[in-house]
Amino acid sequence: MTQRTATPALPLGDDALILSHRLGEWAGNAPVLEEEVALANIALDLLGQARVLLSLAGDEDELAYLREERQFRNLQLVEQPNGDFAHTIARQLYFSTYQELLYAHLATGDGELAPLAAKAVKEVAYHRDHAEQWTLRLGDGTDESHTRMQRALDALWRFTGELFEPVEGLDTVPWPALYDRWTARITAILERATLSVPEGPQRGAWTAGGGRQGLHTEPFGRLLAEMQHLHRSHPGATW
């Protein structure tokens, strides 16, 4: 099986696959039925994107189920555990804002990712809207929800620097401009939600970095074990 590990479809497909898996972990555990359905729908959109992207890079099943941890190129942000609902919303806010800006840019080009980006950017706009609505409700809600939303935003902040490190093969993306637009959007929504933009480093040797090079955080191994277990135990299993 030929795999094109150099294509940018691999890191972007891994982002979608791993976040989809994390969101799927909410099935049966979400705080209200509507959120159960919402998070599963968002996970399904991301899984659809992952299938298209990984198929551009090789065989989707082999890539998802038979790679080792160091071969995955996803951002460390998307592999972070769900935490409480606020952590999941903070992760969704940071990531979907980034993904929407990135896909909107890729959709305007004529690269191999353009058709998928043009299609998916409309779905991701709903994901971002969902995260923003919850950020507003939790931030500008009770003292308890405000405290927990701020805690979640602060905890995941150190994984946001990696979002803007250039991805090999995406040479036309203006990363610093993307970072500025992302920061402006996040700042605006956090201000409306009466929350503070976290302080502290977003990048550097002592913070996040390395998911794109295959360096992952400790919870990722357990995620992979669960995701790959069935396929590895029963090769070729089908429904």
Question: In the complex, which residues of this chain contact another protein (CB under 8 A)?
Answer: 34, 37-38, 40-42, 44-49, 51-52, 114-116, 118-123, 125-126, 129-130, 133
Q: Which is nearer to another protein, 116 or 156 (CB)?
A: 116
* Residue with smaller CB distance to another protein, 186 or 208: 186
H or E segment and range at residue 48: helix 33-57
Decide whether 132 or 162 has the Cβ nearer to another protein.
Answer: 132
CA dist 56 and 206 (Å) reads 34
Residue 89 or residue 116: which is nearer to another protein going by CB? 116
Q: Which residues of 120-149 are buried (b: 16+ CB within 10 A; e: fewer)?
A: bbebbeebbebbbebbbebbeeeeebbebb
Give the integer Cα–Cα distance in Å for 48 and 167: 21
Minimum Å distance from CB 188 to another protein? Answer: 16
> Which residue matches tokens 């992302």?
182
Half-sphere exposure of residue 40: CA atoms within 13 angstroms, side-chain side: 11
Minimum CB–partner distance for residue 101 and another protein (Å):
12
- Min dist. Cβ of residue 122 to another protein (A): 5
In this structure, are residues 189 and 132 in contact, taking their beta carbons and an 8 Å threshold?
yes
Is residue 165 classed exposed, middle or buried when 0-12, 13-18 and 19+ CB atoms within 10 A define those classes? Answer: middle
- Cβ of residue 200: shortest distance to another protein, in angstroms? 31
Minimum CB separation of residue 107 from another protein in Å reads 9
Which helix (DSSP H) or strand (DSSP E) does residue 116 occupy? helix 114-139
Cβ distance to another protein smaller for residue 205 or 237: 237
